[in-house]
């Protein structure tokens, strides 16, 4: 069996690698496509660097549109020429579904599978019907998503969220962050546009907290594609962050932190898995923010809030993403770090904690879709 896989950002790379490992445990598989270091570690030779696709927001995409369009065509042509039985696209719908459209038009019989259901419950519900025109089967991360997909005409399985299977820190890894002052985990995102926009605000937040906690410590896990930018943008912060790229050190930081300040996204689930209380903040170009606001169907973007059906995690989005608002919220969480514990535990249970590994469930779902 041969599959053509496409992932466009680090979270997709993790999903793809777990899926590949699950498939490998069931029999021989050949791969081609686009992925990051984790998927490459599972045997994928990436067609081009995955980091080129890590762009979010309409205003942020426009300057790179021609290049992305060229990569869409290149990926589609490679998928068609690969002899693969199926195209498996992983998240990054703006890129991946355009590739799937070209592939499906040229080879209608080729199975198309998309890993991560679009958040039609949050905004633009019409996306599911549009997606059904080019996608046959969907792997959903959240338990309430399959009905939205099947109603649009696709088959769909809830496969669990990979965060429930990720290893937690060992005592030794956690001990590497022992210290006297409070430890703040700062997570300004994995895309260059996110880091560029959030790092100045987060740095000002750190300055406000340092005024109240002179012994404040800051850990900042990051990914390969933005590590250099992170170092540049944090060089003038009032507390020099410990910048972390190593996976073991990242686990230790997540486990040892007293509180986290994080960009919106799946990182909130990583924090929940580690029992780390959090404040979420996010900003984007005003045009992207205006369009998102007009289309939004929900009152929170934080997955812990959504899955646990609470609103316990504070969030500061768009115009509210200001240091003077965020800093007091972080102080409040530091003062009562246990308030979010129950919601985090409920979230993990609902995402499949304690059951079969999501990567293996995803592999079974892919094989099932190919047999239909």
> Rounded to whole angstroms, how far apart are CA atoms 306 and 142?
10
340-353 mean pLDDT: 96
35-54 mean pLDDT: 92
User: Is residue 305 predicted with pLDDT exceeding 90?
Assistant: yes
Biggest CA pair distance of the chain: 63
> Rounded to whole angstroms, how far apart are CA atoms 55 and 192?
8
CB atoms inside a 10 Å sphere around CB 309 = 11
Which CATH number belongs to the domain containing residue 240 in this structure? Answer: 3.40.50.2000
β-pairing verdict for 217-221 and 183-187: parallel
Q: Is residue 98 part of a domain?
A: yes
Q: Is residue 166 part of a domain?
A: no
Task: Write out the residue range of the structural domain in which residue 286 sits.
Answer: 171-350
Q: Within this chain, do residues 282 and 338 fall inside the same structural domain, yes or no?
A: yes
CB atoms inside a 10 Å sphere around CB 170 = 13
- Token pair for 324: 């003077």
User: Is residue 57 predicted with pLDDT exceeding 50?
Assistant: no
pLDDT for the residue numbered 61: 54
**Of 340, 315, 337, 314, nearest in space to 183 by CA:** 337
Q: Within this chain, do residues 209 and 305 fall inside the same structural domain, yes or no?
A: yes
302-318 mean pLDDT: 96
300-314 mean pLDDT: 95
Q: Within this chain, do residues 191 and 289 fall inside the same structural domain, yes or no?
A: yes
Q: Within this chain, do residues 201 and 344 fall inside the same structural domain, yes or no?
A: yes
Q: What is the mean pLDDT of the chain?
A: 93
Q: Is residue 27 part of a domain?
A: yes
- Upper half-sphere CA count for residue 110 (Cβ side, 13 Å): 25
């Amino acid at each position: 069996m041969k599959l053509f896989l496409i992932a466009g950002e680090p979270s997709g790379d993790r999903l793809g690698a777990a899926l590949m490992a699950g498939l490998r445990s069931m029999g021989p598989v050949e791969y081609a496509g686009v992925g990051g270091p984790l998927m490459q570690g599972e045997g994928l030779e990436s067609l081009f660097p995955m980091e080129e696709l890590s762009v979010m927001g309409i205003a942020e995409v426009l300057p790179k549109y021609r290049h992305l369009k060229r990569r869409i065509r290149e990926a589609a042509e490679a998928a068609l020429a690969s002899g693969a039985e199926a195209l498996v696209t992983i998240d990054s719908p703006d890129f991946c579904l355009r590739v799937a459209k070209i592939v499906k038009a040229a080879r209608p019989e080729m199975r198309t599978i998309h890993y991560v259901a679009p958040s039609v419950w949050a905004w633009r519900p019409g996306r599911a019907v549009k997606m059904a025109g080019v996608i046959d089967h969907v792997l959903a991360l959240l338990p309430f998503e399959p009905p939205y997909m099947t109603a649009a005409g696709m088959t769909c399985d809830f496969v669990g969220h990979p965060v429930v299977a990720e290893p937690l820190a060992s005592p030794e890894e956690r001990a590497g962050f022992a210290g006297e002052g409070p430890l703040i985990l700062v997570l300004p995102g994995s895309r260059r546009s996110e880091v560029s926009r959030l790092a100045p605000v987060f740095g000002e937040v750190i300055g406000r907290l340092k005024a109240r906690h002179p012994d404040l410590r800051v850990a900042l896990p990051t990914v390969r594609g933005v590590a250099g930018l992170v170092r540049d943008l944090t060089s003038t912060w009032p507390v020099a962050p410990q910048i972390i790229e190593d996976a073991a050190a990242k686990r230790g930081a997540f486990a040892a932190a007293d509180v986290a300040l994080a960009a919106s996204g799946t990182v909130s689930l990583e924090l929940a898995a580690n029992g780390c209380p959090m404040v979420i903040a996010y900003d984007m170009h005003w045009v992207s923010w205006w369009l998102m606001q007009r289309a939004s169907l929900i009152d929170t973007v934080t997955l812990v809030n959504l899955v646990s059906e609470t609103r316990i995690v504070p969030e500061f989005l768009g115009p509210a993403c200001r240091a003077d608002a965020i800093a007091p919220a972080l102080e409040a969480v530091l003062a009562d770090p246990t308030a979010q514990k129950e919601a985090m535990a409920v979230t993990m249970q609902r995402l499949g904690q304690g059951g079969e590994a999501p990567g293996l469930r995803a592999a079974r779902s892919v094989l099932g879709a190919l047999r239909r």
